[in-house]
Chains A and B, each alone.
Chain A
Amino acid sequence: MSGQNQAGLVLGQEIGAEEQAPARRPGRVGIGVGKWLLPVYCTLALIFLLIPIVYTIVFSFNDSVRTNISWRGFTLDNWLGVCNEPGVCEAFGNSILIGVSATVIATVLGTMIAIALVRYRFKFRAATNLLLFLPMATPEVVMGAGLAAQFLTAGVPKGIGTIIVAHAMFCLSFVVVTVKARVASLDPALEDAGRDLYGSPSQVFWRITFPLLVPGILAAALLSFSLSFDDFIITYFNSGAVNTFPTFIYTAATRGIPAEANVIASAVFLLAIAVVLIGQLSANARRKRAAIR
């Protein structure tokens, strides 16, 4: 999913760049090379990024037998019977369950930590900041192996539980960073006004602080989910017999990836695009409505 996410991200950047380029360098249009170099370069980059995705989607319709490498004709069978291939749907379900659990844990904890770090001065505040940075800086292999060793020492059997713990741990750092930026930009005078207008601490939090943090918290949750859904290395060390979608694909790759995996990958990609589009459209509509008023 990360490849797809990145493609989406780069797509967005390219569109932004196209809009900005003429405004930024109005004087250089006359130079012949500059005129076509950027569009050609952008098109090539886009094609390069999109090919794997297009390939994945096209081959989800392939009438494959054992391997899904050469094109053997169009079929909808893969889409209609995704779960017929043993293991695919189970792995996908595991990934969803782990992603959602890790996201919930990391988002709740991370939001609380972010608020504390910005709003309060306490002992070990600097240490907490550093500690939260570590999972982002440590190579994943090292962290995966370290966690596995810890679980072994503690006698915890590997499985979905250990994967959730591991994922929640590294997602937490990203949540804190994302939400912290949002808390820092929140005007403390708003909470003062809430308290002045008879709001108890919990009312001020739920009616003022929290609604204003929601965009940051949502962004953090989305990031967490995609990080977790996508993770292979740390998962591989701590999964035991359980398969997530990435580990399933990895093991399947030696035998040939079943077309059903392509179906799920394509579906996830299309779903992500749809979510982004709906978000954009509704934001535009809201802006227009506001402008009319």
Chain B
Amino acid sequence: MARGLFAESGADLKLVGVRKQFPGYTAVEELDLTVPAGTFFALLGPSGCGKTTTLRLVAGLEEPTAGRILIGGTDVTDTKPYRRPVNTVFQSYALFPHMTVLENVAFGLRRRGIGDPVEKAHAALRLVELDHLADRKPAQLSGGQQQRVALARAVVNRPALLLLDEPLGALDLKLRRQMQLELKNIQSEVGLTFVHVTHDQEEAMTMADTVAVMNRGRIEQIGAPEEIYELPRTAFVANFLGQSNLFGGTVAESGSGAFGVDVAGRRILVPIDRAQRTTGAVTVGVRPEKLLLVTEEPAPMAGVNVLGPGRVTDVSFSGVSTQYLIDVPHVGTVIVFAQNLVFGPVVEPGAEVWVTWRVEHGFGLADAPAASALEQAHEALVSGVEG
């Protein structure tokens, strides 16, 4: 990396068969991943799934047990962290307690011999609205302020590859939106590559070009935000990213564009090109906002799936939409998000309703029907017979 110069553009990141084993625990298993140069890549996943470990591997702070890491086409697997064109916003901030905020931010610039480090550090602090606290020590800042210093300290270096480990987690909503915009600006202005770990799904969806959902050290699905939301491939993704209604059933017929699944005595059609499996026992799903509530049994219509009747067990108002929980016998609880087009709930708890959705909104998952879902269905069946 050239001394005294900022990166001209982003670099692409490539992980090939990367694995990381800690004594007695495999944190990352077989990671194959390509992040094109100049894109905004979001990494989502539950706590402890290996996101931070992945970033540390890329930064060189951890050595992979197996596999290669390439940045900008160069194999950096054996390159020391201080020679990699990478900066990290640490989840724990890791600000230097004995230096002022300004010296913290200028640290990387000084090490690389970049001109005007103080002026550039001030500019970065202005960006995160903390220039007035430049002379303070980190211990004299609030959590959110510390986080913004950590952000400024990494961003100021304009690295070809910036790793952000939950960089906005401690900020209030307004400040977070503002920082999101700033980050996006910096990223697109210079065309840097960002790898962004976040627990905020909305943040991941709105900011990222590509989203990857990680689970237990593996990437479950990777794709554009719309794609990954509209067409989840596994039950984990379907429920981790937003909510989903999942139904277990057996494939009963196979047509040209769609196949039919028997779910609790009803025939549900799923498009073949939206399903991972098309034979045997399958799990099919649909997003809650795609469902429509009707209070009278709908007449069979081509291209529309129907489940029901069921009983409304809960209605909760959440501003833009209202969430209905419907207990459908032999299926379980179905969630429906309905837009608040009329004042007050459309139906009251206890009402008998049917849910419908257009066939093209359904999806078929790679998972076999979950044991618990089957059990639930069985339980419902037994209690239905007894009652």
| Residues of chain A having any CB pair with chain B under 8 Å | 187, 189-190, 192-200, 203-204, 207-208, 211-212, 290, 293
Residues of B within 8 Å of A190, CB to CB, are 94, 96-97
Say which residue of A189, A197, A293 sits within 8 Å of B111 (CB atoms): A197
Say which residue of A192, A207, A212 sits within 8 Å of B97 (CB atoms): A212
Q: Which of A187, A194, A204 has the most CB of B within 10 A?
A: A194
| CB of A116 to closest CB in B, whole Å | 20
B61 and A196 form a contact (CB under 8 A)? yes
B111 and A193 form a contact (CB under 8 A)? no
A197 and B98 form a contact (CB under 8 A)? no
| CB of A206 to closest CB in B, whole Å | 12
Instruction: Write the chain A residue with the least CB distance to B163.
Output: A196
Tell me whether B41 is interfacial, beta carbon within 8 Å.
Answer: no
Determine the distance from Cα of A253 to Cα of B45 in the docked complex, in whole angstroms: 76
B137 and A290 form a contact (CB under 8 A)? yes
Number of B residues contacting the other chain (C-beta, 8 Å)?
28
A interface SS class: helix
Contacts between the two chains (Cβ within 8 Å), count: 64
Determine the distance from Cα of A124 to Cα of B157 in the docked complex, in whole angstroms: 42
Say which residue of B82, B86, B95, B136 sits within 8 Å of A293 (CB atoms): B136
Residues of B within 8 Å of A189, CB to CB, are 90, 92, 94
B136 and A198 form a contact (CB under 8 A)? no
| CB of B82 to closest CB in A, whole Å | 5
Determine the distance from Cα of A204 to Cα of B94 in the docked complex, in whole angstroms: 14
Residues of A within 8 Å of B61, CB to CB, are 192, 195-196
Residues of A within 8 Å of B96, CB to CB, are 190, 193-194, 208
Tell me whether B65 is interfacial, beta carbon within 8 Å.
Answer: no
B111 and A198 form a contact (CB under 8 A)? yes
Determine the distance from Cα of A276 to Cα of B88 in the docked complex, in whole angstroms: 42
Tell me whether B148 is interfacial, beta carbon within 8 Å.
Answer: no
Tell me whether B80 is interfacial, beta carbon within 8 Å.
Answer: yes
A199 and B82 form a contact (CB under 8 A)? yes
A200 and B82 form a contact (CB under 8 A)? yes
Tell me whether B144 is interfacial, beta carbon within 8 Å.
Answer: no
Identify 18 new A-B residue pairs, CB closer than 8 A, beyond the known A192-B56, A196-B154.
Answer: A187-B92, A189-B94, A192-B90, A192-B94, A193-B94, A195-B60, A195-B61, A195-B81, A196-B82, A196-B87, A197-B87, A197-B107, A197-B111, A197-B157, A199-B82, A199-B107, A199-B111, A200-B111
Tell me whether B295 is interfacial, beta carbon within 8 Å.
Answer: no
Say which residue of A196, A199, A211, A212 sits within 8 Å of B59 (CB atoms): A196
How does the 8 Å CB contact mask read for B57-93 relative to A, with 1 for contact and 0 for none? 0011100000000000000000011100011101010
Tell me whether B348 is interfacial, beta carbon within 8 Å.
Answer: no
Tell me whether B108 is interfacial, beta carbon within 8 Å.
Answer: yes
Residues of A within 8 Å of B92, CB to CB, are 187, 189
Residues of A within 8 Å of B330, CB to CB, are none
Given A196-B88, A293-B140: A203 and B94 interface contact (C-beta under 8 Å): no
Instruction: Write the chain A residue with the least CB distance to B133.
Output: A293
Residues of B within 8 Å of A198, CB to CB, are 82, 108, 111-112, 157
Residues of B within 8 Å of A212, CB to CB, are 97-98
Tell me whether B135 is interfacial, beta carbon within 8 Å.
Answer: yes
| CB of A241 to closest CB in B, whole Å | 47
A195 and B80 form a contact (CB under 8 A)? yes
Tell me whether B153 is interfacial, beta carbon within 8 Å.
Answer: yes
Residues of A within 8 Å of B107, CB to CB, are 194, 197, 199, 207
